[in-house]
Amino acid sequence: MNRMSEENLVQLQDIWVRYNGAPVLENINLLIKKGDFLGIIGPNGGGKTTLLKVILGLVHPDRGTVSVMGESPVKGRRHIGYVSQYNLFDRSFPINIWDTVLMGRYGNTGLFKRYDAQDRLAVEQALKTVGMLDQRFHQLGQLSGGEQQRVFIARALVTDPQLLLLDEPTASVDSAMQTEFYEILDHLKQTMAIVLVSHDISAVSIYVDKIACLNRQLYYHGSKEITSEILEATYKCPVQMIAHGNVPHRVLKEH
């Protein structure tokens, strides 16, 4: 496989994925570059999570090629931080924030090595970035949904990734904390590329720089200026344009 330009982090070419014979992704061509803040929107079952797993090498496409940092996804994913849609854990388990984030350094230490000063410094910096350092000894299970997501982002940051993949990161975050959460991402995009999967079309249209509309096929990939026609093709239902102040919003009509 040819190495990509240093500006190109991920390249997907003619990607097809099928589950039990049914197509999930069809003819996907996608390029993620340094400095990108890409929002991926689309309906449930449209293949958004599968697309992220293809990039991570967790799902192998039936057809097509994937390059991550010029390598195969399995090798290249060491440069990727990932926050999954569901982080299931026992809330009564007595693990604190610090130790949760420190586990993100496991890939650097290996099975029989101890964490060192460099690992601890990486954890401290990551927790500072997400504003959770002062709470580092609090139990993870006692945090709110928004606070937990900050911790999981910090855990993804301790490997110093070039690309951060976020799968529905605000699904368990109340509306009061979502703005603060997106502002953290706005800060992070200065040092890494970000791919954000979300159903929150309004927030995506405000914060990201590019949008991809995905429903098995990639209906649009470019700037965040997308039309109602493109959204209707993606969601297979009418989309109404409304305005709130100076910010355009898009909502789905009843269907």
Tens of pLDDT, residues 140-173 = 989 888 888 899 999 999 999 999 999 988 776 7
Contact 47, 214 (CB under 8 A): yes
Residue 24 maps to which CATH number? 3.40.50.300
Q: How far apart are CA 158 and CA 104, in angstroms?
A: 6
Rounded Cα–Cα distance for residues 148 and 141 (Å): 8
Domain encompassing residue 162? 8-252
Q: Answer yes or no: are the C-beta atoms of 79 and 69 closer than 8 Å.
A: yes
3 found inside a domain? no
Percent of the chain with pLDDT over 70: 78
Six-digit token string for 232? 């209707």
Question: Which H helix or E strand runs over 14?
Answer: strand 8-19
On whether residue 187 sits in a domain, the answer given is yes
Residue identified by tokens 């301790």 is: 158
Is 159 or 92 the better-scoring residue by pLDDT?
159
Given a cut of 90, whether residue 132 has pLDDT beyond it is yes
- Whether the predicted pLDDT of 202 surpasses 80: no
| Residue 54, in any domain of the structure | yes
Q: Is residue 234 part of a domain?
A: yes
Burial class (CB in 10 A: 0-12, 13-18, 19+), 164: buried
Does residue 235 form part of some domain?
yes
Residue 204 has pLDDT above 50, yes or no: yes
What is the average pLDDT across 209-219? 87
Arithmetic mean of pLDDT, 34-53: 91
DSSP state of 71: B
Task: Please report the pLDDT score of residue 25 as a whole number.
Answer: 96
Tokens 């809330």 sit on residue:
91
Number of domains in the chain: 1
In a domain? residue 2: no
167 inside domain: yes
Does a structural domain hold residue 44?
yes
Task: Report whether 97 contacts 91 (CB < 8 A).
Answer: no
